[in-house]
Amino acid sequence: MSDNELIYFRLLKKQVAATLQQSVPGINPNIENWKGQEIVYFQEDLEQKVKGRISEKWFYTHIKDENSKLPRIDILNLLSKYAGYTDWNDFRSKHQVKEEPDTDLVKKANKIKWMLYIVLGMFVFLTAFYIFRPKTYEFCFVDPDKNASVIHQPIEIILLKENQSPRHLWCKNGCFTITTREKKVRFVVKAAYYKVDTITRFLYSPKEEIHLKTNDYALMIHYFSKANKADWAKRRRQLDQMIAENAQIYQVYDDENIGMELFNKQEFINKLTMPVRSLNNIEIIETIYSGNRISLLKFRQNLNTPQQ
């Protein structure tokens, strides 16, 4: 028997109780609570109105206790007629009961639904974890003239992040890595013989090459310091063109007691081009340009090569 059939039967029992109340006004309106004389009143009224009879045992079986089976159709017709209807079909046709789905099917459907929710939740979690987890990206620096990695000198990296102080890193093998959840990165690259550059990259590939811009003037000065002094007059003219008139030029010493020594433009050119060398094999640390001329130069002397 379906749940809908039980609903119709419960509704019929209420109608039966209401019918008896018309004959016996003081009777309990809840038919399930009838006993003894109340059942007798019902039996008598049923016989008088529809010429039918039910036993007390039947009443306890189908009315007092919740039964999973409906009474026989002839009894349903009898009770329906007592309540004022032609028969059981007439009673059901005049009462609309909302269809209730099968309980087992509902339980199974709910179980499947919750399993789908769990699977979907796990999928969303794993997808979000994959998308938003920190990822590692590697940037390698390449000399555009040599088409080779910049591995023979340290490179300073200054990471720039909005609303945060710059973060300084160093790489000595030509590559550096960062781990981030961001979709874009911005950093400044500083290397002795390359121009300072600010790099902005949207992060798509786990590894990317960055071509540095060669600092030609810094390289020339370095080569001048290593070469012999033939044609020194030509080199003086070249240095004069490369360096601004008011340039600030610093020699940095490893000895902390000396620290740093300042040269003006002419002093530096003299030291770099005189036949008797006072500077030998210098290493450029930093250059700053005003227009296309050097306005600031920092260098140190490589003492591994003896002075003449």
**Per-residue pLDDT tens over the stretch 199-244:** 999 988 899 999 998 888 888 888 887 776 667 788 889 999 999 9
What band does 308 get if pLDDT is binned at 50, 70 and 90?
very low
Q: In what order do the strands lie in the sheet with 243-252?
A: 260-263, 243-252, 293-301, 282-290
**pLDDT tens-digit map of 5-20:** 888 888 989 999 999 8
Closest C-alpha to 239, from 266, 212, 258, 202: 266
Task: Please state the rounded mean pLDDT for residues 72-78.
Answer: 90
The predicted model scores a pTM of: 0.50
What band does 160 get if pLDDT is binned at 50, 70 and 90?
very high
Beta bridge partners of 138: 177, 207
**pLDDT the model gives residue 250:** 93
Does residue 109 or residue 182 have the better pLDDT? 182
Of 62-76, 150-164, 188-202, 211-225, give the lowest mean pLDDT range: 62-76
What band does 262 get if pLDDT is binned at 50, 70 and 90?
very high
Strand ranges (DSSP E) for the chain?
135-143, 148-149, 155-160, 167-171, 175-180, 184-191, 194-202, 207-211, 243-252, 260-263, 282-290, 293-301
**pLDDT tens-digit map of 80-134:** 999 999 999 999 898 877 655 556 666 777 888 888 888 888 888 777 666 678 8
* Residue with tokens 């060669």, as numbered in its chain: 214
Q: CB–CB of 265/243 below 8 Å?
A: yes
Q: CB–CB of 189/156 below 8 Å?
A: yes
**pLDDT the model gives residue 306:** 45
* Predicted confidence (pLDDT) at residue 53 exceeds the cutoff of 60: yes
Q: Which two tokens stand for residue 18?
A: 């209401």
Does residue 111 or residue 40 have the better pLDDT? 40
Q: Is the dihedral of CA 60, 64, 65, 69 positive or negative?
A: positive
What band does 189 get if pLDDT is binned at 50, 70 and 90?
very high
* Predicted confidence (pLDDT) at residue 25 exceeds the cutoff of 80: yes
**pLDDT tens-digit map of 286-296:** 899 998 899 99
Beta bridge partners of 148: 143
* Predicted confidence (pLDDT) at residue 249 exceeds the cutoff of 90: yes
* Predicted confidence (pLDDT) at residue 152 exceeds the cutoff of 50: yes
**pLDDT the model gives residue 278:** 55
- What is the percent of the chain where pLDDT is above 90? 29
**pLDDT the model gives residue 199:** 92
